[in-house]
Structure 1
Amino acid sequence: MTKAADESGAGSKAKAPKNNRRTMWAGVLFLLLVISGVVFGGMKANQYLHDEQQMPVQVIDFSGDYQHIDITKLERLIRKAQPGSFFALDVNDVFELVEAQSWVYRASVRKKWPNTLKIYLVEQQAVAKWNEDLLLNPYGDTFNDEGVEIDLPRLYGPGGSEKTALEGFNSMHALIGTTNMAIDELSLSERFAWQVQLENGIRLNLGRQDFIDRLQRFIDVYPLLAQQEKAVRYVDLRYDTGVAVGWNENDSSNTTNKES
């Protein structure tokens, strides 16, 4: 091999690394451009999807059987708490907000493409008033009446006795429902003694024990009491075999003990 050939070969080897470096940097630059384009496109797409003007929640569709839930107020609360974009709206947050409302017992929330939020509502069922300022549902849970006026039996008792009071009321209501009388008010004392006010104005003192048996005793003796000329004011049933009766007259100390 000649000297010229050796020099030519050495020059080619020197140029090859330079070409490889150029190719590598061109590839890196292309990759950076692609990544930048993807990131920029993702940011623009995210802005578009979260833009209330581009993807608004136009409709909040309420369904279910309800009478006392203020739908206008509820929709206003949802729109205030959540962004208007369909994709940015958090279904779980809306669910918690809806179920926190007093008259809502249960709710389900879901999105419907492209612009609707569907909410199904189950309303609380009020069965009694509790201590004047709350309502009871059939399970003994309390909730705020939010100013809704409903004619319901009134129950009173110490805190934490809601379920006990309601169970007692239900048992007494079922028993006295066999007559033409009804319970207007029920009170449970701190010592868990029962007192009942009937719609006809008669007050019953049932004590702490065997209150169902004592109520049955009143039902048995009431036809005899109703035959009297004086109206019955109260009946004390805390006796083993009889009752003490107070009559509606000026002399409130006048009582009669009737054997059952």
Structure 2
Amino acid sequence: MTGEKKAILLRPGFWFGVAFFITVVLSIIWATARLNDWLKDEQRLPVQKIMIAGQRHFIKDEDVARTVRKAQPGSFFELDVNKALAAVEAMPWVHKASVRKEWPSTLKVYLIEQVPVAHWNSDSLLNQQGNLFNGQMNEEQDQLPQLFGPGGSEQTALQGYRAMQQLLDNSQLKIEELQLSERFAWQIKLSNGIKLNIGREEFIDRVQRFVDVYPMLVKSDRAVDYVDLRYDTGLAVGWKQKSES
């Protein structure tokens, strides 16, 4: 060690500078740790407000807020937007959602609600795309048709329902119940109680045949029970007993 280096080490200012530098580094480490603890402290910076937007008929705002807080109970900074989004989209009536943070303590949730178009096998609902979801409707809201069919045939049944209902609209008739068998044969029950046995083939043409003869059927003094359309041409009519009409 040269004399010049020894002189530098013996200077009081040198050691003061070293001590000051170490103090600054330790202070930064301490401050960083304290800041990290502060940011993680739920009581200091919680999610104070959850704003919910989007048209909602079946989803309650308080249920959404409860779901978010249960899935992500930490502070605003700790909240994982992707996990909150997954929790919201797992709710029965939510079709799609978006979740984003807004400084300093607000979470914004935008919802697209499921639009139910039919019941499926008495225990589920179908949306507009023919996808299954679970949900409950009260009697005032529930005017949906009942669709039945084998698993995996939801979209086929819904497409058939829509095509047949479009034909029946011209006669102000509504499908109340539709059944698609394992062999993909169609049966429907109308809101006026008439049952149509349509079969597997050319079901659109067969429903059109019924629509064509319906004005003559309603002129009869007897009430129609069922119409069997499983013929290449023509149809068979079953009449209700007078005590049933």
Q: Is the 8 A contact 1:206 1:237 kept in 2?
A: yes
In structure 2, the residue matched to 1:189 is 181
Instruction: Indicate which of 232, 242, 245 corresponds to 2:224.
Output: 232
Greater Cα shift, 223-232 or 19-28: 19-28
Pairing 1:140–2:133 present: no
Aligned residue identity for 2:173:
M
Q: Is the 8 A contact 2:147 2:178 kept in 1?
A: yes
Aligned residue identity for 1:231:
A
Change (3 A) 1:175 1:147: closer
CA-based RMSD: 2.4
Q: How far 1:229 sits from its partner (Å)? A: 2.0
In structure 2, the residue matched to 1:153 is 145
Distance between the aligned counterparts of 2:168 and 2:7, measured in 1? Answer: 102
In structure 2, the residue matched to 1:204 is 196
Pairing 1:69–2:69 present: no
The TM-score with structure 1 as length reference comes to: 0.85
Structure 2 residue matching 1:139: 3-state secondary structure: coil
In structure 1, the residue matched to 2:210 is 218
In structure 2, the residue matched to 1:113 is 103
In structure 1, the residue matched to 2:79 is 89
The unaligned stretches of length 5 or more in structure 1 are: 1-12, 252-260
Q: How far 1:37 sits from its partner (Å)? A: 2.3
Aligned residue identity for 1:190:
E
Distance between the aligned counterparts of 1:208 and 1:25, measured in 2? Answer: 96
Distance between the aligned counterparts of 2:200 and 2:27, measured in 1? Answer: 79
**What is the number of equivalent residue pairs in this alignment?**
240
Q: How far 1:162 sits from its partner (Å)? A: 0.5
Structure 1 residue matching 2:54: 3-state secondary structure: strand
Q: How far 1:148 sits from its partner (Å)? A: 4.5
Structure 1 residue matching 2:50: 3-state secondary structure: strand
Q: How far 1:41 sits from its partner (Å)? A: 1.2
Distance between the aligned counterparts of 1:170 and 1:28, measured in 2? Answer: 82
The TM-score with structure 2 as length reference comes to: 0.89
Structure with max Cα Rg: 1
Change (3 A) 1:68 1:22: farther
In structure 1, the residue matched to 2:119 is 129
Pairing 1:39–2:58 present: no
Q: State the 4+ residue runs in structure 1 displaced beyond 3 angstroms.
A: 13-35, 146-149
Q: Is the 8 A contact 2:167 2:211 kept in 1?
A: no
Aligned residue identity for 1:113:
W
Where does 1:243-258 land on structure 2 (aligned, <5 Å)?
243-249=235-241
Q: Is the 8 A contact 2:48 2:106 kept in 1?
A: yes
The unaligned stretches of length 5 or more in structure 2 are: none
Distance between the aligned counterparts of 1:102 and 1:86, measured in 2? Answer: 26
Could you report, residue by residue, the CA deviation over 1:68-108 in whole angstroms, capped at 9, with x for unpaired residues? Answer: 00221221121122134111111111111111111111111
Q: Is the 8 A contact 2:94 2:111 kept in 1?
A: yes
Change (3 A) 1:205 1:113: same
